[in-house]
Structure 1
Amino acid sequence: MSTGLSLAALGIGTQIPLTLLATPLWALYAIGCGTIAMGCWVLAHECGHNAFHPNRRIEGVVGFLLHSALLVPYYSWARSHSVHHAHCNHLEQGETHVPPRASSVLGRITEQLKRSLNPTLFGVISLLNHLVIGWPLYLLLGATGGEDYGFPTSHFWNGHPFSNGKRSLFPKRFCTLMVRSNIGCLAMITFLIIAAMQSSPLRVICVYGLPYLVINIWLITYTWLQHTDQNIPHFSNTTWCWVKGALQTIDRPYGPMLNLLHHGIGSTHVCHHVNSAIPHYNAWRGTALLRQRFPELVHYDATPIPEALWRIATTCGGAVYQSSHDQAYYF
């Protein structure tokens, strides 16, 4: 379904005229095609968790092809994402959407920016930083990575100057798989260059580039809202344990259409962190069981997604402060 609909949407994009009058059509195409193709991203994510197919070779091929087509370094991302699951909401060893502490340099800068700007402007800047440039900055430089891995880190090279932390996000022995990931992305870039030469650069930018931006926006929307809110604690070495961290993620209501297209990634995320090897189609039953048996432990926020996104952008864009009550860190 995901690959078939994505290819059909791309085919429609090849027929839209490259004129200013067609701008509304291109906007609709970008939103529609990017939203559909996000389903392919989610399936590659399943492959990275060994939750797609019992045959690891088939799983690896599918994940590598899908993510390479979306310019994601598959094996490098799978490695960093496994670190995220192993140390969820861990300030030192966590990975992705790790907030800065108020005592850190980045924390002081963000808090000063937050105080100096009005909430609306700060929210707009926070949305642009996260949704538009957040994903490339994470892949290229390791933005929002854990404290122990240092800055910068890169999903494309694990040597100098991208390995200067207390811990290595990508060990030296991982170099072969990192090169393989890079080859996949380079192959896709080569294909896009050839397509641009055969048609036109503008056609490739519109047909591929516009949906690519929308996919990235969906990706960050999901991950940001899954792990960020004012009532979600973050832990240091002294207070973190795996169960506490895994349960500090949030299920949200995305509606039947998005749940179908995106395989429920935003509405079954607590279950996914409890056991990431559960396939998406079984995560619904796992989620129902978790909510039934441990209702006090499963976070669910019924706030509409646009409202929740704006609230988090305006209130959770700064640093986290340690609570005297439980020694955890909160926005």
Structure 2
Amino acid sequence: MPVQPLRRCDFQLEAFRSPDDRIAFWQLLNTHVPTAVLWACVQPLAQAGSGLRLLLLPVLVLLVLFSARSFALMHDCGHDSLFRSRWLNRPVGFLLGCLNAIPQHPWARGHAFHHQHNGNWDRYRGPSALLTRNAYLALAPRQRWLYGLSRHPLMLLPGGGYYLLIRPRLQLLQGLAEWLSAMAAHLGSRGVSGVVDLPALSRDFQSSHWYTAGECRELVANNVVVLSSWWLMGAWLGHGLFWACYLLVMTLSAAIFLCIFFVQHNFEGSYASGSDGWSYLRGALEGSSNLDVPPLLNWFWADISFHSIHHLCERIPNYRLRACHTANAERLATSRLLRLADFSTCFTYILWVDEAGRLITLKQA
């Protein structure tokens, strides 16, 4: 009998879709209570003698890992999968976004677009968007070098710091500048009488840095909370100590989840399609890798290592991904499995060839 191609309905997914609020609350507690305790240890250890001061290093390492786990829980809220109800996922997601210094609602919208088009490199416009081979070969030598540098693993560090700490603040400032320019232009054309139109114009204003009024409100609210928390943490710990530790923790935790995202979609043999003929199922099974990493890392990463299942059904909560993956193990046999030693190789696959439907390296180009 000929082998029939897999369909989404061939997978056991529905039995694993139901969130459990008790597990979700426990995950919040076992992530953020230790985080608070670790931050409370920073100042006493920094002021201790040289021997005890060395304990600050493992404290910072744990803060990096717990911060990455907090981001993973925020990610689940964006899929409305951590809790049963949207009215819980939204406010918890907002608070987790504040803890991670990034507006959760706009981030979740962009991440949902990634899920809707995974494997379609024509449509993807995220932080790891790739050029086609032909577009790369058309670049000048210096531009090719800069493109290769921008995808180097070491760029995860400045990229991670920018992604969490600078970009959300910059988006708000740039959006406000666009709004002020639009309001000033209206007053310039209508004069003082145009003041009465400003509230309506503001409600209908469209910025290139947010898509809806709800995203604008969340961007403003997130920045208010984040900037206030930075000032309060600095007043508590001392601004020098706080920023020295905070910059390290946030930069490294952002680098971790950017790295995970990259290697789970950029690897040898990964499905790479244009818009014509793109397949959602192939994007999930062939364009998403699963990770074979130590169990402790899987805990801090909230089991996002089981990524093919996550792309088949993003409404499965993180605490059911492992069981769902196990139940569908035979059907996932062709999905790529990566180990930590494979990660560095993934960063070489930074071009895609539409006609071949695959990713290639600069050397192959």
Pairwise TM-score range, normalised by the shorter structure:
0.7 to 0.9
**1:153-172 pair list within 5 angstroms:** 172=211
- Number of residues paired by the alignment? 299
Q: Which residue of 2 aligns with 1:81?
A: 111
Which structure has the highest helix share of the two?
2
Q: Which residue of 1 aligns with 2:346?
A: 312
Superimposed CA distance per residue, residues 34-91 of structure 1 (whole angstroms, 9 cap, x where no aligned partner): 1122211111111100101112111111111011111011111011000010011212
- Aligned to 1:227, what secondary structure does the other structure show? coil
- Give the 3-state SS of the residue equivalent to 1:232 in structure 2: coil
Q: For residue 262 of structure 1, what is the aligned residue in structure 2? A: 301
Counterpart code for 1:45: H
Q: What corresponds to 1:101 in structure 2? A: 132
Letter of the 2:133 counterpart: A
Alignment partner, residue 36 of structure 2: 7
Q: Partner residue of 2:158? A: 132
Equivalent runs, 1:111-150 vs 2, <5 Å: 112-113=144-145, 126-134=152-160, 136-137=162-163
Moved more, 224-233 or 186-195: 186-195
1:186 deviates by: 2.8
Structure with max Cα Rg: 2
Q: Contact conserved, 2:270 with 2:358, CA < 8 A, in 1?
A: no
Aligned partners of 1:111 and 1:319 also within 8 Å: no
The 3 A distance-change label for structure 1 pair 13 and 286 is: same
**CA shift at 1:17, angstroms?**
1.5
Alignment counterpart, residue 60 of structure 2, candidates 19, 22, 30: 30
Q: Letter of the 2:337 partner, please give it.
A: Y
Residue 230, structure 1, aligned to residue 264, structure 2: no
Moved more, 190-199 or 21-30: 21-30
Letter in 1 for 2:35: S
Write the deviation string for residues 125-173 of structure 1: whole angstroms up to 9, x where unpaired.
811213431562599779xxxxxxxxxx958866998xxxxxx99774x
Where does the alignment leave 5 or more consecutive residues of structure 1 unmatched?
A: 143-152, 162-167
Deviations 1:6-37 (A, max 9, x none): 11221222322169958754443322211122
2:198 alignment counterpart: none
- Is the CA contact 1:135–1:220 (under 8 Å) kept in the aligned structure 2? no
- Pick closer, same or farther for the CA change 1:286–1:280 going to 2, 3 Å: same
Q: Deviations over 1:251-298 (max 9, x none)?
A: 011211111222211x211100000000111111211133223423x2
Q: Distance in 2 between matches of 1:74 and 1:34?
A: 19
Shift of 1:207: 3.8
Change (3 A) 1:67 1:131: same
Q: Counterpart of 2:330 in 1: which secondary structure?
A: helix
Alpha-carbon distance between aligned partners in 1 of 2:32 and 2:284, rounded to the nearest angstrom:
31
Identity %: 16
State the secondary structure of the residue aligned to 1:270.
helix
Q: Using the alignment, how far apart are the partners of 2:327 and 2:250 within structure 1?
A: 35
Q: Give the Cα–Cα distance (whole angstroms) in 2 for the partners of residues 290 and 111 of structure 1.
A: 44
| Residues 156 and 179, structure 1, Cα contact 8 Å, conserved in 2 | no
- 1:237/1:51 CA distance change after superposition, 3 Å: same
CA distance in 2, matches of 1:250, 1:63: 26
Mapped contact 1:13–1:29 kept (Cα < 8 A): yes
CA distance in 2, matches of 1:329, 1:257: 31
> In 1, Cα distance between the equivalents of 2:261 and 2:268?
15
2:219 aligned partner, one-letter code: S
- The answer for the alignment partner of 2:292 in structure 1 is 253
CA contact (8 A) 2:77 2:83 kept: yes
Letter in 2 for 1:319: L
Bigger drift between 206-215 and 44-53 goes to 206-215
The structure 2 residue matched to 1:176, chosen from 197, 214, 218, is 214
Residue in 1 that maps onto 2:12: none
Alpha carbons 2:271, 2:357 under 8 Å: kept: no
Q: What letter corresponds to residue 300 of structure 2 in structure 1?
A: L
RMSD: 3.4
